[in-house]
């Protein structure tokens, strides 16, 4: 069984690179499907899950306030989402040859010895790619 994980910088075209093994070798390709599966299993909105996945486990909140323990609710939900994410990714990888883009798959599937790729691009290439793919009428500058 072959597993390829792709980590990427925003705008680096990592998603398109990840689809190549699918096109050539007929590997299953998983990206947005994982977020959708987490949302369905957790009974949460897909946009909320996407936001939670982007910020990851937040360590910016103090665990204690004064002399009492403080555990914010969003931190609990985020931890729950990550456990569901881990379960889903491992189940998808167990199905056979696949490419998993993002989603911390390189860490989650570490024991399966995946081939890990990290895709990056220089700033000007990322800006150009984002401008080309922007919705019609959206005017992006170098600062937005």
pLDDT tens for 31-69 read 888 889 988 988 888 888 888 777 665 555 555 555 555
The structure tokens listed for 73 are 């609710």
* Maximum distance among all Cα pairs of the chain, rounded to whole angstroms: 59
User: What is the pLDDT at residue 130?
Assistant: 81
User: What is the pLDDT at residue 61?
Assistant: 52
pLDDT tens for 82-132 read 888 899 999 999 999 999 988 889 999 999 999 999 988 898 888 888 888
User: What is the pLDDT at residue 92?
Assistant: 92
Closest CA to 85 of 63, 100, 69: 100
User: What is the pLDDT at residue 1?
Assistant: 78
Closest CA to 86 of 101, 102, 108: 108
Q: What residues form DSSP beta bridges with 22? A: none
Q: Is there a contact between 32 and 144 (Cβ–Cβ < 8 Å)? A: no
Q: What is the pTM of this model?
A: 0.72
* pLDDT higher at 76 or 8: 8
Residues 128, 12, 56: CA angle, nearest 5 degrees: 125
Residue 76 has pLDDT above 80, yes or no: no
Q: Is there a contact between 93 and 112 (Cβ–Cβ < 8 Å)? A: yes
Residue written as tokens 């998983």?
A: 30
Residue written as tokens 């899950």?
A: 49
């Amino acid at each position: 069984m072959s597993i390829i994980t792709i980590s990427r910088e925003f705008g680096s075209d990592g998603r398109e690179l990840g689809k190549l093994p699918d096109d050539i070798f007929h590997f299953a390709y998983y990206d947005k499907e994982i977020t959708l599966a987490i949302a369905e299993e957790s009974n949460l909105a897909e946009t909320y899950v996407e936001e939670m996945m982007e910020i990851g486990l937040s360590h910016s909140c103090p665990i204690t306030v004064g002399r009492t323990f403080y555990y914010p609710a969003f931190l609990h939900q985020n931890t729950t989402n990550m456990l569901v994410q881990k379960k889903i990714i491992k189940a998808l990888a167990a199905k056979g040859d696949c490419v998993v883009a993002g989603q911390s798959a390189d860490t989650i599937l570490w024991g399966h010895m995946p081939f890990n790729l990290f895709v990056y691009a220089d700033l000007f290439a990322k800006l150009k790619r984002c401008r080309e793919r922007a919705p019609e009428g959206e005017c992006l500058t170098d600062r937005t």
